[in-house]
Structure 1
Amino acid sequence: MAKRFNSKFTHLSPVWYDLKSQGTGLILEGRHNADMGWISELRMAGDAWVLPRVVLEAFPAELLTTKKRRSKAITLLVSECKEMGYDGVVLESWSRWAAYRILHDPSMRNLALQFIKELGDALHAVSLERNDKQRLQLVYVIGPPHSEKLQEHDFGPKDLRNLGDAVDGFSLMMYDFSGPQNPGPNAPLKWIHSTLQLLLGTDKNSALAHKIFLGINFYGNDFALSGGIFIFLFYLYNFCC
């Protein structure tokens, strides 16, 4: 589909990489997933940027509090882009940091934001292999709040403004509103509107609206009541941003 409709895409993000802790160091896994033939065909047919997704699985307390490890993580990502000829990366880390509860600590949250800024600056310092007038890009994955008010761990307006210059796009995953405990629509339009309002409601943030890549679900859940227990099935698991 990416090859067939190449001219209609600006960015393509294959799910290939994980950055993990290994002993006292870090390791970037996933190069074996890279399909260089596919990338070559894409570039022969159009101008879509290829930014593989990287899930940051490294232990956050060790990564973020140690300057040497932060620098190592950034070096691994930038080097992989240069060696493989990518156009940048899509980084997913906020949900994992929230799971480790480090975003509740203001000092750790600041370190997390600083790491993303440093990565963005490092990528922007590198010219594209095929066009030296353009730079490597950073797209950052963010999730929606699941309540009307932002919780401590949620990505909010301040975070958006803080990262506005360092990040080229924010991949906002707007789905999975409902689940087995609360069956219902997957991505109700009202929820999407309210989430965007939370992030972009102020004049200061409105200038960043063009950087929001809205994740739209191309799958649905079928909930069925069986013996008092809801059972749900996934259909057409796919999405685009």
Structure 2
Amino acid sequence: MANDRLRTAMIAANLTIDALASKVGVDPKTVERWISKERRPHRTTRQQVATALGTRDVDLWPPPSTELPTNGHESELVHLYPSRSSVTGAMWERLINGVGERMDVLVFSGAFLVEQYNLVPIIQSKAAQGVRFRLLVGDETSPAVIQRAVDEGTPGGLEGRVQMMRRYLSDVAGLDGVEVRTHGTILYNSLYRFDDDLLVNGHAHGALAGQNPVMHLKRLPTGQMWQHYMRSFDRIWEQGTPEPTS
């Protein structure tokens, strides 16, 4: 499993494998293994890498834990991740493949869902089984998307990723139970709903989406947070523009 947390942090810091290896004093092949094989270096080395990338070592190599303690009480908050990149691939796969009723997504791009987790054929298969999908992606021509790209330091890059995601989703737009819409709202949070599970990826000014924290919420009868974020999804959904279908 690749260490996407480390890869994202290197991109954000504009450091190549060779450059990071030079800063930390290791062979470039060692850095490649940290990324491709998710090798975990010694603590001192992890701290040196984090310093070079302007982050924390736990954000790059989080400790193996699955849940936050709830003091014996059921809680909406299942887990708080320091960054989207620290949500494991196994967790994304479990949530995506486990959807049985509804999946809702609010993003600007979200292309990683297709490129890393094979979302399009999963949608095709699950839609045929009656699962419903509402997918909200950005309008690359909207001021909000253009400004976010500038704020992230990647002008033009985000717009291209949005266009790519819209092209990916054109293969499923119009299937029974699948609706795709675009939006141009300011994206305070990206939302990923899988039945009663909800990942809330907050956004901090100037940071890439993968660098921002994620709350994993579980829908509960008396809970307020899950409903709070899903109401915001519904408001944007109502304003969205349906994508053309073939």
Structure 1 or 2: more strand by fraction: 1
TM-score normalised by the chain length of structure 2:
0.31
Structure 1 or 2: more helix by fraction: 2
Q: Which is bigger in relative contact order (C-alpha 8 A, separation at least 6)?
A: 2
